[in-house]
Amino acid sequence: MIESPGRATKKLLRVLDGEAIGPPPVWLMRQAGRYLPEYRALRTKAASFLEFCYNPKLAVEATLQPIERFGFDAAILFSDILVVPDAFGQKVSFESGHGPRLTPITDRDDFAKLRETIDLDRLSPVFETITRVKQALPSHVALIGFCGAPWTVASYMIAGHGTPDQMPARLFAYRHRALFQDLIDLLVTGSIDYLEQQVVAGVEAVQIFDSWGGVLPADEFERWCLQPVKAIIAGLRSRCPGVKVIAFPRGAGSHLVDFAGRTGADALGLDTAVVPVWAAECVEVGTVLQGNLDPLALLAGGQCLGEAVKQIKTAFVGRPHIFNLGHGILPETPIAHVEALLAQLREEA
Ligand code: CP3
Protein backbone atom coordinates (compact mmCIF):
# COMPACT_ATOMS: atom_id res chain seq x y z
CA MET A 1 0.00 0.00 0.00
CA ILE A 2 1.28 3.43 -0.88
CA GLU A 3 0.30 5.44 2.16
CA SER A 4 -0.14 9.16 2.02
CA PRO A 5 -1.73 11.38 4.64
CA GLY A 6 -4.57 12.29 2.31
CA ARG A 7 -5.47 8.76 1.30
CA ALA A 8 -8.54 8.49 3.53
CA THR A 9 -9.90 11.77 2.18
CA LYS A 10 -9.51 10.79 -1.47
CA LYS A 11 -12.72 9.18 -2.61
CA LEU A 12 -11.13 7.76 -5.72
CA LEU A 13 -8.47 5.90 -3.74
CA ARG A 14 -11.03 4.60 -1.26
CA VAL A 15 -13.03 3.12 -4.12
CA LEU A 16 -9.87 1.66 -5.64
CA ASP A 17 -9.31 0.05 -2.22
CA GLY A 18 -12.67 -1.67 -2.69
CA GLU A 19 -15.13 0.62 -0.91
CA ALA A 20 -18.52 1.34 -2.53
CA ILE A 21 -19.27 5.05 -2.13
CA GLY A 22 -22.43 6.91 -3.08
CA PRO A 23 -22.35 9.24 -4.94
CA PRO A 24 -19.35 7.72 -6.72
CA PRO A 25 -16.13 9.63 -7.34
CA VAL A 26 -15.96 11.07 -10.84
CA TRP A 27 -13.37 12.05 -13.42
CA LEU A 28 -13.62 12.08 -17.22
CA MET A 29 -11.23 10.62 -19.75
CA ARG A 30 -9.59 13.48 -21.68
CA GLN A 31 -10.98 15.91 -19.11
CA ALA A 32 -8.21 18.34 -20.02
CA GLY A 33 -8.64 19.33 -23.62
CA ARG A 34 -10.21 21.28 -26.39
CA TYR A 35 -13.77 21.51 -25.00
CA LEU A 36 -12.32 23.95 -22.42
CA PRO A 37 -11.76 27.53 -23.61
CA GLU A 38 -8.93 27.90 -21.08
CA TYR A 39 -7.22 24.84 -22.62
CA ARG A 40 -7.54 26.28 -26.13
CA ALA A 41 -5.98 29.53 -24.91
CA LEU A 42 -3.13 27.71 -23.18
CA ARG A 43 -2.51 25.46 -26.18
CA THR A 44 -1.56 28.50 -28.32
CA LYS A 45 1.48 29.04 -26.08
CA ALA A 46 3.36 26.03 -27.49
CA ALA A 47 4.30 25.56 -31.13
CA SER A 48 3.54 21.84 -31.18
CA PHE A 49 1.50 19.41 -29.12
CA LEU A 50 4.61 17.48 -28.03
CA GLU A 51 6.29 20.70 -26.89
CA PHE A 52 3.14 21.41 -24.93
CA CYS A 53 3.31 17.95 -23.28
CA TYR A 54 7.03 18.44 -22.47
CA ASN A 55 6.58 21.91 -20.97
CA PRO A 56 5.90 21.40 -17.24
CA LYS A 57 4.50 24.89 -16.76
CA LEU A 58 1.87 24.40 -19.48
CA ALA A 59 1.21 20.71 -18.71
CA VAL A 60 0.67 21.47 -14.99
CA GLU A 61 -1.84 24.15 -15.87
CA ALA A 62 -3.65 21.92 -18.36
CA THR A 63 -3.86 19.13 -15.75
CA LEU A 64 -5.30 21.49 -13.14
CA GLN A 65 -7.78 23.36 -15.36
CA PRO A 66 -10.61 20.78 -15.19
CA ILE A 67 -10.07 20.37 -11.44
CA GLU A 68 -10.37 24.11 -10.87
CA ARG A 69 -13.44 24.42 -13.07
CA PHE A 70 -15.37 21.29 -12.07
CA GLY A 71 -13.86 19.87 -8.87
CA PHE A 72 -13.39 16.33 -10.21
CA ASP A 73 -12.24 13.69 -7.73
CA ALA A 74 -9.12 12.92 -9.76
CA ALA A 75 -6.69 14.75 -12.00
CA ILE A 76 -5.08 12.87 -14.87
CA LEU A 77 -1.58 13.84 -15.87
CA PHE A 78 -1.64 15.95 -19.02
CA SER A 79 0.49 14.15 -21.60
CA ASP A 80 -0.12 11.63 -24.37
CA ILE A 81 0.39 7.91 -24.88
CA LEU A 82 2.65 8.66 -27.87
CA VAL A 83 5.44 10.19 -25.77
CA VAL A 84 6.56 6.56 -25.34
CA PRO A 85 7.47 5.98 -29.01
CA ASP A 86 9.02 9.44 -28.96
CA ALA A 87 11.18 8.38 -25.99
CA PHE A 88 12.20 5.25 -27.92
CA GLY A 89 13.55 7.52 -30.68
CA GLN A 90 10.73 7.21 -33.21
CA LYS A 91 9.80 10.45 -34.91
CA VAL A 92 6.39 11.58 -33.58
CA SER A 93 4.43 14.71 -34.41
CA PHE A 94 0.83 15.88 -34.18
CA GLU A 95 -0.68 17.70 -37.12
CA SER A 96 -3.74 19.74 -36.29
CA GLY A 97 -6.77 18.22 -37.91
CA HIS A 98 -4.88 15.01 -38.81
CA GLY A 99 -3.88 13.55 -35.47
CA PRO A 100 -0.57 11.84 -34.79
CA ARG A 101 2.10 11.19 -37.43
CA LEU A 102 4.98 8.76 -36.83
CA THR A 103 7.68 7.43 -39.13
CA PRO A 104 6.22 3.94 -39.54
CA ILE A 105 8.09 0.79 -38.57
CA THR A 106 7.94 -1.51 -41.57
CA ASP A 107 10.71 -4.05 -40.97
CA ARG A 108 13.50 -5.25 -38.66
CA ASP A 109 15.81 -2.40 -39.81
CA ASP A 110 13.29 0.22 -38.70
CA PHE A 111 12.84 -1.61 -35.40
CA ALA A 112 16.62 -1.73 -34.90
CA LYS A 113 16.71 2.07 -35.09
CA LEU A 114 14.68 2.34 -31.89
CA ARG A 115 16.54 2.71 -28.62
CA GLU A 116 16.98 -0.48 -26.58
CA THR A 117 15.62 1.24 -23.49
CA ILE A 118 13.21 4.09 -23.04
CA ASP A 119 14.86 7.50 -22.69
CA LEU A 120 13.67 8.53 -19.23
CA ASP A 121 15.66 11.80 -19.48
CA ARG A 122 13.54 12.83 -22.43
CA LEU A 123 10.47 12.14 -20.28
CA SER A 124 11.81 14.06 -17.27
CA PRO A 125 9.48 17.06 -17.95
CA VAL A 126 6.56 14.64 -17.49
CA PHE A 127 7.86 13.62 -14.07
CA GLU A 128 8.42 17.25 -13.15
CA THR A 129 4.82 17.97 -14.17
CA ILE A 130 3.60 15.21 -11.85
CA THR A 131 5.61 16.50 -8.89
CA ARG A 132 4.34 20.03 -9.40
CA VAL A 133 0.71 18.97 -9.90
CA LYS A 134 0.86 16.84 -6.76
CA GLN A 135 1.91 19.87 -4.74
CA ALA A 136 -0.84 22.04 -6.20
CA LEU A 137 -3.79 19.63 -5.94
CA PRO A 138 -6.41 19.94 -3.20
CA SER A 139 -5.91 17.15 -0.66
CA HIS A 140 -9.08 15.27 -1.64
CA VAL A 141 -8.11 14.99 -5.33
CA ALA A 142 -6.16 11.93 -6.49
CA LEU A 143 -3.55 12.06 -9.24
CA ILE A 144 -3.68 9.47 -12.02
CA GLY A 145 -0.77 8.69 -14.33
CA PHE A 146 -1.06 6.66 -17.49
CA CYS A 147 0.46 4.95 -20.46
CA GLY A 148 -0.94 3.35 -23.58
CA ALA A 149 -1.08 -0.43 -23.64
CA PRO A 150 1.58 -1.97 -25.91
CA TRP A 151 -0.93 -3.08 -28.56
CA THR A 152 -2.46 0.39 -28.91
CA VAL A 153 0.90 2.17 -28.93
CA ALA A 154 2.34 -0.38 -31.39
CA SER A 155 -0.63 0.11 -33.70
CA TYR A 156 0.41 3.78 -34.15
CA MET A 157 4.10 2.86 -34.42
CA ILE A 158 3.38 0.42 -37.26
CA ALA A 159 0.77 2.42 -39.19
CA GLY A 160 2.41 5.79 -38.58
CA HIS A 161 -0.99 7.35 -37.94
CA GLY A 162 -4.44 6.53 -36.58
CA THR A 163 -6.60 4.11 -38.54
CA PRO A 164 -10.24 3.09 -38.04
CA ASP A 165 -9.53 -0.64 -37.70
CA GLN A 166 -5.78 -0.99 -36.94
CA MET A 167 -5.37 -3.05 -40.10
CA PRO A 168 -1.67 -2.26 -40.64
CA ALA A 169 -0.70 -3.51 -37.17
CA ARG A 170 -3.01 -6.53 -37.29
CA LEU A 171 -1.56 -7.63 -40.60
CA PHE A 172 2.00 -6.91 -39.46
CA ALA A 173 1.41 -9.05 -36.35
CA TYR A 174 0.35 -12.01 -38.55
CA ARG A 175 3.10 -11.58 -41.11
CA HIS A 176 6.03 -10.75 -38.82
CA ARG A 177 5.16 -12.50 -35.58
CA ALA A 178 8.63 -12.59 -34.00
CA LEU A 179 9.35 -8.98 -34.88
CA PHE A 180 5.99 -7.80 -33.59
CA GLN A 181 6.56 -9.75 -30.37
CA ASP A 182 9.93 -7.97 -29.99
CA LEU A 183 8.21 -4.61 -30.40
CA ILE A 184 5.55 -5.50 -27.83
CA ASP A 185 8.22 -6.75 -25.40
CA LEU A 186 10.16 -3.51 -25.82
CA LEU A 187 7.01 -1.52 -25.05
CA VAL A 188 6.26 -3.67 -21.99
CA THR A 189 9.71 -2.98 -20.55
CA GLY A 190 9.59 0.71 -21.43
CA SER A 191 6.10 1.13 -20.00
CA ILE A 192 7.14 -0.43 -16.69
CA ASP A 193 10.11 1.96 -16.45
CA TYR A 194 7.92 4.91 -17.41
CA LEU A 195 5.08 4.10 -14.99
CA GLU A 196 7.53 3.41 -12.18
CA GLN A 197 8.97 6.92 -12.58
CA GLN A 198 5.45 8.37 -12.64
CA VAL A 199 4.75 6.68 -9.30
CA VAL A 200 8.08 7.90 -7.88
CA ALA A 201 7.13 11.43 -8.99
CA GLY A 202 3.79 11.23 -7.21
CA VAL A 203 0.92 9.57 -9.11
CA GLU A 204 -1.33 7.47 -6.87
CA ALA A 205 -2.92 5.31 -9.54
CA VAL A 206 -2.23 4.59 -13.19
CA GLN A 207 -4.52 3.86 -16.09
CA ILE A 208 -3.42 1.68 -19.00
CA PHE A 209 -5.29 2.77 -22.13
CA ASP A 210 -5.85 -0.06 -24.62
CA SER A 211 -8.06 1.85 -27.01
CA TRP A 212 -7.79 -0.62 -29.87
CA GLY A 213 -7.86 -4.11 -28.34
CA GLY A 214 -11.47 -4.60 -29.41
CA VAL A 215 -10.57 -5.22 -33.05
CA LEU A 216 -8.67 -8.44 -32.33
CA PRO A 217 -9.87 -12.05 -32.49
CA ALA A 218 -9.56 -14.01 -29.22
CA ASP A 219 -6.08 -15.53 -29.63
CA GLU A 220 -4.60 -12.26 -30.83
CA PHE A 221 -6.30 -10.40 -28.00
CA GLU A 222 -4.78 -12.81 -25.50
CA ARG A 223 -1.29 -12.46 -27.00
CA TRP A 224 -1.10 -8.76 -27.81
CA CYS A 225 -3.45 -7.19 -25.26
CA LEU A 226 -3.98 -9.30 -22.20
CA GLN A 227 -0.50 -10.78 -21.71
CA PRO A 228 1.41 -7.50 -22.20
CA VAL A 229 -0.92 -5.63 -19.81
CA LYS A 230 -0.45 -8.45 -17.29
CA ALA A 231 3.34 -8.20 -17.68
CA ILE A 232 3.30 -4.43 -17.17
CA ILE A 233 1.21 -4.72 -14.02
CA ALA A 234 3.42 -7.49 -12.59
CA GLY A 235 6.59 -5.52 -13.38
CA LEU A 236 5.21 -2.30 -11.93
CA ARG A 237 3.96 -4.02 -8.76
CA SER A 238 7.35 -5.64 -8.18
CA ARG A 239 8.84 -2.14 -8.03
CA CYS A 240 5.92 -0.16 -6.60
CA PRO A 241 3.91 -2.54 -4.42
CA GLY A 242 0.37 -1.43 -3.82
CA VAL A 243 0.10 1.01 -6.71
CA LYS A 244 -3.46 1.01 -8.04
CA VAL A 245 -3.96 0.08 -11.68
CA ILE A 246 -7.00 0.78 -13.85
CA ALA A 247 -7.05 -1.15 -17.12
CA PHE A 248 -9.13 0.22 -19.98
CA PRO A 249 -9.37 -2.47 -22.66
CA ARG A 250 -11.80 -0.66 -24.94
CA GLY A 251 -14.04 -2.97 -26.95
CA ALA A 252 -12.92 -6.07 -25.02
CA GLY A 253 -16.51 -7.38 -24.75
CA SER A 254 -16.70 -10.79 -23.12
CA HIS A 255 -13.00 -10.63 -22.18
CA LEU A 256 -14.05 -8.12 -19.52
CA VAL A 257 -15.43 -10.81 -17.23
CA ASP A 258 -12.05 -11.92 -15.92
CA PHE A 259 -9.71 -9.34 -17.49
CA ALA A 260 -8.84 -7.67 -14.18
CA GLY A 261 -8.35 -10.96 -12.37
CA ARG A 262 -6.12 -12.33 -15.11
CA THR A 263 -4.02 -9.17 -15.52
CA GLY A 264 -3.88 -8.18 -11.86
CA ALA A 265 -5.60 -4.82 -12.47
CA ASP A 266 -7.55 -3.36 -9.56
CA ALA A 267 -10.14 -1.66 -11.70
CA LEU A 268 -11.62 -2.01 -15.14
CA GLY A 269 -12.64 0.90 -17.35
CA LEU A 270 -15.83 0.00 -19.21
CA ASP A 271 -16.31 1.39 -22.70
CA THR A 272 -19.49 2.94 -24.00
CA ALA A 273 -20.90 -0.26 -25.49
CA VAL A 274 -20.83 -2.28 -22.26
CA VAL A 275 -24.27 -2.82 -20.68
CA PRO A 276 -23.91 -1.46 -17.12
CA VAL A 277 -26.14 -4.06 -15.41
CA TRP A 278 -24.32 -6.84 -17.27
CA ALA A 279 -20.96 -5.55 -16.04
CA ALA A 280 -22.25 -5.14 -12.48
CA GLU A 281 -23.44 -8.75 -12.47
CA CYS A 282 -20.89 -10.53 -14.63
CA VAL A 283 -17.51 -8.92 -14.07
CA GLU A 284 -15.87 -10.89 -11.29
CA VAL A 285 -16.44 -9.62 -7.77
CA GLY A 286 -13.42 -7.76 -6.41
CA THR A 287 -12.95 -5.72 -9.57
CA VAL A 288 -13.65 -2.02 -9.21
CA LEU A 289 -15.63 -0.76 -12.20
CA GLN A 290 -15.21 2.57 -13.96
CA GLY A 291 -17.36 4.12 -16.62
CA ASN A 292 -19.20 4.29 -18.86
CA LEU A 293 -21.33 7.23 -20.03
CA ASP A 294 -21.51 7.66 -23.80
CA PRO A 295 -19.47 10.79 -24.69
CA LEU A 296 -22.19 11.57 -27.25
CA ALA A 297 -24.90 11.54 -24.55
CA LEU A 298 -22.81 14.12 -22.70
CA LEU A 299 -22.47 16.15 -25.88
CA ALA A 300 -26.23 15.94 -26.58
CA GLY A 301 -27.25 16.74 -22.99
CA GLY A 302 -30.85 17.08 -21.81
CA GLN A 303 -33.06 14.10 -21.13
CA CYS A 304 -30.78 11.58 -22.87
CA LEU A 305 -27.96 12.58 -20.57
CA GLY A 306 -30.12 12.47 -17.44
CA GLU A 307 -31.45 9.01 -18.22
CA ALA A 308 -28.06 7.59 -19.12
CA VAL A 309 -26.47 8.89 -15.92
CA LYS A 310 -29.27 7.47 -13.82
CA GLN A 311 -29.03 4.09 -15.48
CA ILE A 312 -25.29 3.86 -14.83
CA LYS A 313 -25.54 5.01 -11.23
CA THR A 314 -28.35 2.58 -10.48
CA ALA A 315 -26.59 -0.36 -12.08
CA PHE A 316 -23.51 0.00 -9.90
CA VAL A 317 -25.13 0.70 -6.53
CA GLY A 318 -23.37 -1.43 -3.91
CA ARG A 319 -20.33 -2.12 -6.12
CA PRO A 320 -17.18 -0.03 -5.95
CA HIS A 321 -17.67 2.29 -8.92
CA ILE A 322 -15.88 5.30 -10.38
CA PHE A 323 -18.09 7.39 -12.62
CA ASN A 324 -16.47 8.20 -15.99
CA LEU A 325 -17.17 8.24 -19.70
CA GLY A 326 -16.93 5.18 -21.92
CA HIS A 327 -14.30 6.97 -24.03
CA GLY A 328 -12.73 10.44 -24.14
CA ILE A 329 -14.79 13.62 -23.91
CA LEU A 330 -15.42 15.16 -27.34
CA PRO A 331 -14.11 18.65 -28.16
CA GLU A 332 -17.63 19.85 -29.08
CA THR A 333 -19.03 19.03 -25.60
CA PRO A 334 -20.76 22.06 -24.00
CA ILE A 335 -19.40 22.94 -20.57
CA ALA A 336 -22.97 23.32 -19.27
CA HIS A 337 -23.53 19.62 -19.94
CA VAL A 338 -20.54 18.65 -17.81
CA GLU A 339 -21.93 20.89 -15.07
CA ALA A 340 -25.35 19.24 -15.40
CA LEU A 341 -23.77 15.79 -15.18
CA LEU A 342 -21.92 16.70 -11.99
CA ALA A 343 -24.98 18.31 -10.43
CA GLN A 344 -27.02 15.18 -11.10
CA LEU A 345 -24.32 12.87 -9.77
CA ARG A 346 -23.89 14.88 -6.59
CA GLU A 347 -27.54 15.57 -5.79
CA GLU A 348 -28.83 11.99 -5.79
CA ALA A 349 -26.80 10.19 -3.13
O1 CP3 B 1 -7.09 14.74 -19.94
C2 CP3 B 1 -6.57 13.64 -20.19
O3 CP3 B 1 -7.23 12.59 -20.35
C4 CP3 B 1 -5.05 13.53 -20.23
C5 CP3 B 1 -4.43 13.69 -21.48
C6 CP3 B 1 -4.52 12.65 -22.60
C7 CP3 B 1 -4.39 13.03 -23.96
N8 CP3 B 1 -4.35 11.89 -24.72
C9 CP3 B 1 -4.27 14.42 -24.43
C10 CP3 B 1 -4.44 14.73 -25.86
C11 CP3 B 1 -4.63 11.24 -22.57
C12 CP3 B 1 -4.84 10.31 -21.38
C13 CP3 B 1 -4.52 10.79 -23.92
C14 CP3 B 1 -4.56 9.35 -24.29
C15 CP3 B 1 -4.49 8.96 -25.70
N16 CP3 B 1 -3.81 9.59 -26.72
C17 CP3 B 1 -5.08 7.78 -26.23
C18 CP3 B 1 -5.85 6.74 -25.45
C19 CP3 B 1 -7.23 7.16 -25.12
C20 CP3 B 1 -8.17 7.28 -26.30
O21 CP3 B 1 -8.68 8.41 -26.47
O22 CP3 B 1 -8.42 6.30 -27.00
C23 CP3 B 1 -4.77 7.76 -27.62
C24 CP3 B 1 -5.20 6.68 -28.59
C25 CP3 B 1 -3.97 8.89 -27.90
C26 CP3 B 1 -3.33 9.26 -29.20
C27 CP3 B 1 -3.77 10.58 -29.68
N28 CP3 B 1 -3.41 11.79 -29.11
C29 CP3 B 1 -4.58 10.86 -30.80
C30 CP3 B 1 -5.19 9.82 -31.70
C31 CP3 B 1 -4.70 12.25 -30.88
C32 CP3 B 1 -5.38 13.04 -31.97
C33 CP3 B 1 -6.84 13.02 -31.83
C34 CP3 B 1 -7.31 14.18 -31.04
O35 CP3 B 1 -8.10 14.00 -30.12
O36 CP3 B 1 -6.87 15.30 -31.39
C37 CP3 B 1 -3.99 12.82 -29.79
C38 CP3 B 1 -3.84 14.26 -29.46
C39 CP3 B 1 -4.26 14.68 -28.09
N40 CP3 B 1 -3.95 14.04 -26.93
C41 CP3 B 1 -4.98 15.86 -27.77
C42 CP3 B 1 -5.10 15.90 -26.37
C43 CP3 B 1 -5.75 16.98 -25.53
C44 CP3 B 1 -5.46 16.92 -28.76
C45 CP3 B 1 -4.31 17.68 -29.36
C46 CP3 B 1 -4.34 19.17 -29.13
O47 CP3 B 1 -4.94 19.67 -28.16
O48 CP3 B 1 -3.69 19.86 -29.93
Q: Along the 349 residues of the chain, how does pLDDT read in single tens digits?
A: 455 556 779 999 999 999 999 999 999 999 999 999 999 999 999 999 999 999 999 999 999 999 999 999 999 999 999 999 999 999 999 988 789 999 999 999 999 999 999 999 999 999 999 999 999 999 999 999 999 999 999 999 999 999 999 999 999 999 999 999 999 999 999 999 999 999 999 999 999 999 999 999 999 999 999 999 999 999 999 999 999 999 999 999 999 999 999 999 999 999 999 999 999 999 999 999 999 999 999 999 999 999 999 999 999 999 999 999 999 999 999 999 999 999 999 985 5
Domain residue ranges in the chain? 7-345
Q: State the pTM of this model.
A: 0.96
Residue 1 is predicted with a pLDDT of 47
**DSSP letter, residue 265:** -
Cα 129 to Cα 56: distance, rounded to the nearest angstrom: 5
Cα 320 to Cα 15: distance, rounded to the nearest angstrom: 6
CB atoms within 10 A of CB 149: 29
Q: Which residue has the least CA distance to atom 7 on ligand 1?
A: 80
CA of 7 to the centre of ligand 1 (A): 28
Residue 209 is predicted with a pLDDT of 98
18 lines ligand 1 (CB under 6 A): no
209 lines ligand 1 (CB under 6 A): yes
To the question of domain 7-345 being in CATH 3.20.20.210, the answer is yes
CA of 59 to the centre of ligand 1 (A): 13
211 lines ligand 1 (CB under 6 A): yes
Q: Using alpha carbons only, how large is the chain's radius of gyration in Å? A: 19
Q: Which residue has the least CA distance to atom 24 on ligand 1?
A: 211
DSSP E strands in 199-249: the ranges are: 205-210, 244-249
DSSP E strands in 283-334: the ranges are: 288-293, 321-325
> In this structure, which long-range contacts are made by residues 219-225, counting pairs with CB atoms below 8 Å and at least 24 apart in sequence?
220/170, 220/173, 221/252, 221/255, 224/150, 224/151, 224/154, 224/173, 224/180, 224/184, 225/149, 225/151, 225/249, 225/252, 225/255
213 lines ligand 1 (CB under 6 A): no
